[in-house]
Amino acid sequence: MIQAVKKLVQRAGLRRQHLEAARMYGERHALAVAAPFRSPRARGRILCYHSVGQPEFGVNDVTPSRFRRHIELALEQGYRFVAPAEIAATGGGPKDIAISFDDALKTVLTQADPILREHKIPYSVFIVSEWSEQKHDWEKTGVLGWRELEKMRADGVELGSHSATHRDFGEVDVERAKREFEQSRNTINERLGFTPDVFAIPFGQSRNWTPCADKAAREAGFTTIYAQAEETRPPGTIPRTFVTRFDDDRIFKALLRGAFDRWEEWTWTY
Ligand SMILES: [Zn+2]
Residues pairing with 226 in the sheet:
200, 238
How many angstroms does the Cα of residue 141 sit away from the middle of ligand 1?
17
- Could you give the CA distance from residue 20 to residue 189 in angstroms, rounded to a whole number? 37
Examine residue 268 and state whether it is found in any structural domain, yes or no: no
pLDDT, tens digit (0-9, with 9 covering 90-100), for 219-256: 999 999 999 999 889 999 999 999 999 999 999 999 99
Examine residue 106 and state whether it is found in any structural domain, yes or no: yes
Examine residue 206 and state whether it is found in any structural domain, yes or no: yes
Examine residue 265 and state whether it is found in any structural domain, yes or no: no
Q: What is the CA radius of gyration of the chain?
A: 18
95 and 135 in contact (C-beta within 8 Å)? no
Examine residue 150 and state whether it is found in any structural domain, yes or no: yes
pLDDT given for residue 27 in this prediction: 82
Examine residue 264 and state whether it is found in any structural domain, yes or no: no
Examine residue 253 and state whether it is found in any structural domain, yes or no: yes
How many angstroms does the Cα of residue 5 sit away from the middle of ligand 1?
30
pLDDT, tens digit (0-9, with 9 covering 90-100), for 74-96: 999 999 999 999 999 999 999 99
Examine residue 251 and state whether it is found in any structural domain, yes or no: yes
How many angstroms does the Cα of residue 104 sit away from the middle of ligand 1?
9
Which residues have beta carbons under 5 A from ligand 1 (an ion)? Answer: 102-103, 202
Q: Which residues, in sequence order, are CB contacts of 170 under 8 Å at separation 6+?
A: 203, 207, 208, 209, 210, 213
CATH number of the domain encompassing residue 96: 3.20.20.370
Domain count, the chain: 1
pLDDT, tens digit (0-9, with 9 covering 90-100), for 12-44: 555 667 777 888 888 888 888 776 566 678 899
pTM (predicted TM-score): 0.91
pLDDT given for residue 30 in this prediction: 81
Mean pLDDT of the chain: 91
Domain that holds residue 181: 2-257
